[in-house]
Amino acid sequence: MNEDKDFLGTQPVGKLLLKLALPTVAAQVINMLYNIVDRIYIGHIPDVGASALTGVGVCMPLIMIVTAFAAFVGYGGAPRASIFMGKGDHKSAEKTLGNCFITQIIVSVVLTAALLLWNRDFLMAFGASENTIEYGVSYMNIYAVGTIFVQMTLGMNAFITAQGFAKTGMLSVLIGAVANIILDPVFIFAFHMGVQGAALATIISQAMSCIWVLAFLFGKKTHLKIRKENFALKAHIILPSLALGLSAFIMQASESVISICFNSSLLRYGGDIAVGAMTILTSVMQFAMLPLQGLGQGAQPIISFNYGARNVDRVKSAFQLLLKASLCYSTLLWLLVMIFPQGFAAMFTSDPALLEFTKTALRIYMACLLLFGIQMACQMAFTSLGNAKASITVAVMRKFILLIPLIYIMPLIFSSDKTTAVYMAEPVADFIAVSFTAILFTFQFKKALAAISSKEEDKTLSPNKKDLK
């Protein structure tokens, strides 16, 4: 392996993390703008902004599912490709890329068909009302057509970042985000297309990003190249990648399930205004989630490569820096939300009633945000180490075992204000989940470091059932 490919194992960890994390965090911040800019413009459409925002907000579970499938393939395959590169197995790394590329095309076709056929049924089940359903259907009918662009951009871009091309990965997102920010007001306001214009701007922007990503991975500058001979799906290549990506899929797809649970409960107890507020709350939560994911993605190639190369000290140093940076960021954002909740809410709506309602709900919903840096750092490190079982466990614990039941339990406990009680489910679940994750990670991280320091056979790349251990 030449020096260009070996820099993940030789450059100082602090300098390397800064070099890789800045572009990936920037990419996620840009991606955050990408995700919320539609809602910002839609929420300010004259006369119908609040209803349109609620209608498009109900689309979020479907959009989350689309992005979750991209993570399922890309975020599972990319760390394995990095580990293979660290072990000097370039051929297996490229086979992983090729298999994931074909898998994402197959998934995109299936998702597009499902969204076009059943989006109205899905939206009604997800909390849309008669007042808001048409806005949601109008948005999803157009968004569904661009599913393959979303899949390719998000999933394949992970392989660019995994090789250490963080700036190129950032540009992948920047291209689409800038295009979306420019096209949104043109289609929504100038062409009077409303929510349909927002959806059209989104898929055009994603198509532009998709072209950039694929041009790079088919080109000459990449270390890992998409090649036709790697398109034939091989069980020992794709199945371990999907097993590792399952935790990322659960994390993102469960957001869809949780959004459905929140919306249905809030519609019951608080009506359309409570559902509209939830759209804003989940949007603000992305200010935390996406930059923290960016930090984790910046650290992932370092941790994965050096884990594959059995460099214990570099793996440990990279995680410690990731944890400190993540915790500092989540604490800072928590302070801003607690002190200036109305400022965050005002980004998405000018409706006085919705603004006032959201200001209070935001402080409740994000009460434990300061601890979330620990959760995300450990979650990303589990994936970087190829520990599928632990990564899946923490994802399932926070979402399915804790949060979903609490959405229904909390209103029974605090029956005097059931709407507020629904919002309280989030911080209660976060506190318990972070405690569980920190304890589990402490034991699993020591075990992983001991395994590579003693030169034991690397079981994380085994194609058999031990892959999940």
pLDDT tens by residue, 181-238: 899 999 988 898 888 998 999 999 999 999 999 999 999 999 999 999 999 999 999 9
What pLDDT band is residue 363 in, cutting at 50, 70 and 90?
Answer: very high
> Which of 28, 12, 4, 6 has the alpha carbon at shortest distance from 298?
28
Find all residues with CB under 8 Å of 231, minimum gap 6, and list them. 98, 99, 101, 102
The mean pLDDT value for 361-377 works out to 93
Report the chain's mean pLDDT, rounded to a whole number: 87
Q: Give the pLDDT score at 5.
A: 56
- Here the contacts of 44-52 (C-beta below 8 Å, separation 24 or greater) are 44/349, 44/350, 45/188, 45/189, 45/194, 48/135, 48/194, 49/349, 49/350, 49/351, 50/273, 50/276, 50/349, 50/351, 50/354, 51/131, 51/132, 51/135, 51/272, 52/132, 52/135, 52/194, 52/195
Find all residues with CB under 8 Å of 41, minimum gap 6, and list them. 184, 185, 188, 189, 198
* pLDDT tens column, 427-469: 999 999 999 999 999 999 998 888 888 754 444 444 444 443 4
Q: Give the pLDDT score at 3.
A: 42
What pLDDT band is residue 319 in, cutting at 50, 70 and 90?
Answer: very high
The mean pLDDT value for 124-135 works out to 81
The mean pLDDT value for 159-164 works out to 89
Q: Give the pLDDT score at 258.
A: 84
User: Given the structure tokens 């990731």, which residue do they identify?
Assistant: 322
Calculate what percentage of the chain has a pLDDT beyond 70. Answer: 95
Q: Give the pLDDT score at 335.
A: 96
Domain locations in the chain as residue ranges? 11-468
pLDDT of 377 > 50? The answer is: yes
* pLDDT tens column, 23-32: 878 877 776 7
d(CA 61, CA 66): 9
Residue type, 131: N
Contact 163, 90 (CB under 8 A): no
pLDDT of 1 > 60? The answer is: no
Q: Give the pLDDT score at 59.
A: 84
pLDDT of 252 > 90? The answer is: no
d(CA 226, CA 218): 5
The mean pLDDT value for 21-45 works out to 77
* pLDDT tens column, 381-406: 988 888 878 888 888 898 889 999 99
Q: Give the pLDDT score at 21.
A: 84
Find all residues with CB under 8 Å of 182, minimum gap 6, and list them. none
d(CA 399, CA 433): 9
What pLDDT band is residue 6 in, cutting at 50, 70 and 90?
Answer: low
* pLDDT tens column, 266-305: 988 998 889 889 888 988 888 888 888 889 888 888 898 8
Cβ count within 10 A of residue 370: 21
Question: At 102, is the secondary structure helix, strand, or coil?
Answer: helix
d(CA 295, CA 143): 29
* pLDDT tens column, 403-422: 999 999 999 999 889 999 99
Q: Give the pLDDT score at 238.
A: 95
Q: Give the pLDDT score at 63.
A: 86
pLDDT of 129 > 80? The answer is: no
d(CA 469, CA 459): 8
> Which of 355, 367, 371, 379 has the alpha carbon at shortest distance from 410?
367
Which one has a higher pLDDT value, 112 or 244? 112
* pLDDT tens column, 321-340: 999 999 999 999 999 999 99
